Amino acid sequence: MARTQSAAGVAVGQYRMPAEWEPHEATWIAWPHHRDDWPGKFPPIPLVYGEIVRQLHQSEEVRILINGPAGEKRARAVLEKLSLDWKRISFWKIPTNRVWTRDYGPIVVHNDWGSRSIIEWQFNAWAKYPNAQRDRAVAFSAYRLLGGDFYHEAAIVDGTHVVLEGGAIDVNGLGCVLTTEECLLSKVQQRNPGFTRKDYERTFAKYLGAHKTLWLHKGIVGDDTHGHIDDLARFVNARTVAVAVEDNSKDKNYWLLQENLERLQGMTDLDGRKLEVVQLPMPSPVWWEDQRLPASYANFYIANDRVLVPTFNDANDRKAMGILAELFPKRTVVGIHAVDLVWGLGTLHCLTQQLPSRK
């Protein structure tokens, strides 16, 4: 693949990862099948997925990853009870271990020669689970099935395939990427041993077209990924970031989120203009079996004509949705009940991955 060269012979501007609000061709999800992700609480999960599909398919095509005919049969048993336009739903036989498509699904970028490329990152199951071989193969499997004008490139630095989950980054499509120190520089869940801040910044510039990395500090309590950005702060347009804040000073999230807020308030975009920062409330703590869960309204998903927002039977549900409605005036904001879903330690953004439209 040809690269655009600078005067110094260095590849520049090869790729650009579109922002989530840019047009989608489709959304990828994986139909739930791994019951251990929701121990003791699996039965309602396929019903929640049915509602997610019902909402998304009104906005764009939904491409559902299944492990085989039995998986498709189980999915159809739920979906056929709903009023759906089946022309906007398709099943793709791409086996998965778990459903968190955001983290292992195909990250698609625009390239300088007018097509789209799938950047394949290594997936190590958050340095937690040994059984991730299926998830690790999803991006390349999608590339092989998509064909057409798609290209493929593995994210390789110094001969090593770079580990990165999609939930660890959020881009504005114009040169900026949000992430956290806790996630990428963690000594507990090491993604890329020996990688420095500068290594990540060079990697993001090369493969995402993000030449400015905005580093927040830590993630929320209960997040077993150690600091994914999609529970904390999200670009809602090129210069505006919605950031989660906790009002209760006695809550363990209070100071963590205050530090992230203060950092964002001092940050600028690629052109040096200050970011606009909008505060998004947190729901009251959500617990299950003495475990605090990573409930956050920041885990919303931006589809073509709507924004899906996790809700938690909380007084702040309506407030959070109202703030997002103001930030997305041309989209319908839809709440999806996520009290059961979050027992899997993720919600709407975690289980979706957008396929950007061609330029």
Rounded Cα distance between 296 and 282, Å, is 6
3-class state of residue 232 by DSSP = coil
Which listed residue (350, 352, 353, 355) is catalytic? 350
CA angle 113, 116, 122 (to 5 degrees): 120
Concerning whether 176 is annotated as a catalytic residue, the answer is no
Q: How far is CA 59 from CA 2, 32, 35, 334, in A?
A: 35, 21, 29, 12
Are the beta carbons of 170 and 229 closer than 8 angstroms?
yes
3-class state of residue 103 by DSSP = helix
CA angle 124, 126, 129 (to 5 degrees): 75
Q: Which residues are within 8 A (CB) of 303 and not within 5 positions of it... i.e. 6 or more apart?
A: 24, 27, 55, 56, 59, 60, 331, 354
Q: How far is CA 109 from CA 13, 16, 149, 275, 357, in A?
A: 11, 5, 12, 24, 10
Active site residues: 350
